[in-house]
Chain A
Amino acid sequence: MSRQIKDLESFERKVRPIYDALDSRNWKGALKLCQQALQKYPENELIKVLKAIGLDRSGKREEANQIVDEVVATTPIDEQVLRLAAMVLRGSGRLAAITSMYEAAAAAAAAHGPGQAELAQVLLNDVFGAHVRESNFVKQQQVAMKLSKASGPAAGAAGVSSERYSWWVVLSLLLQARAALRARASGQPAPPGQVPAIALEPEKMLALAEGMMSRQASKDKKLEGYEAFMVYVDVLLAQGKIAEALALVTGPLGESCIRLPAERLQLRAVLAALSGDLQAAAEALAEGLRLNPDDWGALLLLLDCLLPGTVQTPRSGASADAPQVFTPQHPLILISGGLAEQLPPRGAPLPTDGGATDEAFQRAEGLIKELQAVCTESPTSTATPSSPGQGGDGKPMIMRGPDLALVDLALRRHRAAGGGGGDTEANAVVDAVLDYFRKYGHLVSCAVDLRTYVAALGPAASERLAAGLAAEVEAAVGTAGAGEKKDALKVLRRQVCAAQLRDELGLPRLEGRGPEAAVEAAREFMTLYATARPLQEDLDSRERGAADELPALAAAALVSAAGAAASDAEAVPFMLAAYGTLADALRDRPYGAAMRIAAAELAALLAAPAAAAAHVYKLDVKHIQLDTLASHLLLPPLLTWPSAAPPPPAGPAAQAPGEAAPASSGSGSSASPLLTKALSDSRALFEDHGRDAGETLFTAYTHGMYTKVLEFNAFRERLAAAHTFALVRAESAIADSLLRGAATNASSSGASGSASTSDAALSADAISAAALAAVKSVRAAGLPDTDSLRFNWDLTTRPTWSPPCTAGPNLQPLQWWGSRPACARGQEYGRRWWSAPSSSEAAVSEAGAWRAAQAAAVAHRWLLPHCIAGALGASGPEVLELREAVGQLQALLDVPAASGSAPAAGAALCDERAVRRLDVQLYRAALAVQEELHQLTGATNGADAAPPESSASCSVALAEAVAAIRGAAEAATSRLSTEAAAAEAWGGVLPGGALAQLAHLLREPMTVLAACLQSYQAALKALQKKRGKAAGGQDGHLQKLAADVAAASEELTSTARACGDTLSSLKAAAAGRASSATEALLRFLQERGAGPFGDGARAALTALAREQELTLAALAQAAVAVAKLAS
Chain B
Amino acid sequence: MTTLRRFTCNDLFNYNNVNLDILTETYNLPFYLTYLAKWPEYCLMAEGPGKQAMGYILGKAEGEGELWHGHVTAVTVGPDFRRQSLAQKLMAILEEISEKVHDCYFVDLFVRKSNAVAIAMYGKFGYIVYRTVTGYYSGDEDAYDMRKALQRDASRRSVVPLKKAIRPEDLEWE
Question: Complex formed: what's the CA distance from A593 to B16 in Å?
Answer: 10
- B30 interface residue, CB < 8 Å from A? yes
Contact A699 B21 (CB under 8 A): no
A-chain residues with CB within 8 Å of residue B153 when the two chains form the complex: none
A386 in contact with B96 given A444-B83, A703-B37 (CB within 8 Å): yes
Given known contacts A294-B1, A295-B3, A297-B5, is B88 in contact with A689 (CB within 8 Å)?
Answer: no
Please provide the chain B residues from 100 to 149 with a CB less than 8 Å away from any CB of chain A in the complex.
100-101, 117, 124-126
Known contacts A385-B95, A444-B83; A336 and B125 CB within 8 A of each other: no
Query: Considering the complex, which residues of chain A in the window 164-207 have a beta carbon less than 8 Å from any beta carbon of chain B?
Result: none
Q: Is the CB of B40 within 8 A of A705?
A: yes
User: Which bucket holds chain A's interface residue count?
Assistant: 35 or more
Q: Which residues of A contact B162 (CB under 8 A)?
A: none
A297-B85 in contact given A386-B96, A708-B36 (Cβ < 8 Å)? no
Please determine whether A445 and B81 come into contact, CB atoms closer than 8 angstroms: yes
Check A542 for interface membership: any CB of B closer than 8 A: yes
- Evaluate contact between B48 and A445: CB separation under 8 angstroms: yes
Nearest residue (CB) in B for A689 is: B29
For the complex, give the distance between the alpha carbons of A593 and B22 in Å: 9
Tell whether, in the assembled complex, residue A836 and residue B13 are in contact, meaning their CB atoms are under 8 Å apart.
Answer: no
Q: Does A452 contact B (CB under 8 A)?
A: yes
Q: Are A401 and B2 in contact (CB under 8 A)?
A: yes
| Binary flags per residue of B30-45, CB closer than 8 Å to A gives 1, else 0 | 1001101110110000
Inter-chain CA distance A691–B22, complex, in Å, is 29
In the complex formed, the residue of A with least CB distance to B41 is A226
Output the residue of A294, A395, A448 with the most chain B CB within 10 A. A448
* B38, A699: Cβ atoms closer than 8 Å: yes
Q: Nearest CB to that of A625 among chain B residues? A: B26
Nearest CB of chain B from residue A1023's CB, rounded to whole Å: 55
Q: Mark B41-61, 1 if CB is under 8 A from A, else 0.
A: 100000111111110000000
Q: How far is the CA of A368 from the CA of B56 in the complex (A)?
A: 27
Number of A-B contacts (CB under 8 A): 193
A593, A621, A838: the one within 8 Å of B13 (CB): A838
Q: Are A392 and B36 in contact (CB under 8 A)?
A: no
Q: How far is the CA of A385 from the CA of B23 in the complex (A)?
A: 26
B69 CB, min distance to chain A CBs, angstroms: 16
Residues of B within 8 A of A695 (CB): 30
- Residues of B close to A827: CB separation below 8 A: none
Contact of A336 among B3, B10, B23, B27 (CB under 8 A): B10
Given contacts A711-B8, A836-B51, contact A624 B100 (CB under 8 A): no
Q: A593-B21, A623-B29 are in contact. Are A391 and B88 (CB under 8 A)?
A: yes
Q: A331-B6, A336-B10, A705-B40 are in contact. Are A623 and B125 (CB under 8 A)?
A: no
With the chains together, A395 CA to B5 CA distance in Å? 23
- Any B CB within 8 A of the CB of A125: no
CB distance from B120 to the nearest CB of A (A): 11
Q: List residues of chain B with CB within 8 A of the CB of A688.
A: 29
Say how far B70's CB is from chain A's closest CB, in angstroms.
13
On chain B, the residues within 8 Å of A792 by CB distance are 13
Q: Is the CB of A794 within 8 A of B95?
A: no
Q: Pick the contact of B91 from A392, A444, A544, A837 — CB < 8 Å? A: A392
Contacts of A332 in B (CB 8 A): 5
Question: B residues within 8 A CB of A708?
Answer: 36-37, 40
Bound-complex Cα distance A395 to B14 (A): 30
How far is B122's CA from A526's CA once the two chains are assembled, in angstroms?
36
Most buried by B among A299, A622, A623, A712: A623
Q: Is A822 an interface residue (CB 8 A)?
A: no
Query: By the criterion CB–CB under 8 Å, are A705 and B9 in contact?
Result: no
Compute how far the CA of A619 lies from the CA of B117 in the bound complex, rounded to whole angstroms. Answer: 22
Give A695 to B28 CA distance when docked, in angstroms.
14
With A385-B96, A399-B1, A542-B23 in contact, do A711 and B48 touch (Cβ < 8 Å)? no
A385 partner residues in chain B, CB cutoff 8 A: 92, 95-96
Q: A259 with B48: in contact, given A331-B6, A696-B30, A699-B34 (CB under 8 Å)?
A: no
Least Cβ distance of B22 to chain A in Å?
A: 4
A119 to chain B, nearest CB (A): 25
Q: How far is the CA of A92 from the CA of B134 in the complex (A)?
A: 38
B2 to chain A, nearest CB (A): 6
Pair B92/A297 contact, Cβ less than 8 Å: no
**Cross-chain contact A711 with B52 (CB below 8 angstroms):** no
Cβ of B73 under 8 Å from chain A: no
- In the complex, are the beta carbons of A297 and B124 less than 8 A apart? no
Whether B80 pairs with A445 at a CB distance below 8 angstroms is yes
Instruction: Name the CB-closest residue of A to B127.
Output: A392
B-to-A contact residues, CB < 8 Å: 1-6, 8-10, 12-14, 16-17, 19-23, 26-30, 33-34, 36-38, 40-41, 47-54, 79-86, 88-89, 91-93, 95-97, 100-101, 117, 124-126
Which 5 A-B pairs rank lowest in CB-CB distance, beginning with the nearest? A401-B1, A297-B3, A544-B79, A696-B33, A391-B88
Known: A297-B3, A444-B81, A628-B12. 9 other contacts (CB 8 A): A259-B101, A260-B97, A294-B2, A336-B8, A392-B91, A444-B82, A445-B81, A629-B16, A705-B40
Can you pick out 29 interface pairs between chain A and chain B where the beta carbons lie within 8 Å of each other?
A259-B100, A260-B96, A294-B1, A295-B2, A296-B47, A296-B48, A296-B49, A398-B84, A404-B1, A405-B1, A443-B83, A444-B83, A445-B48, A445-B54, A452-B49, A540-B117, A623-B26, A624-B13, A624-B26, A625-B26, A628-B16, A685-B29, A695-B30, A700-B36, A700-B37, A711-B9, A794-B14, A797-B17, A838-B13
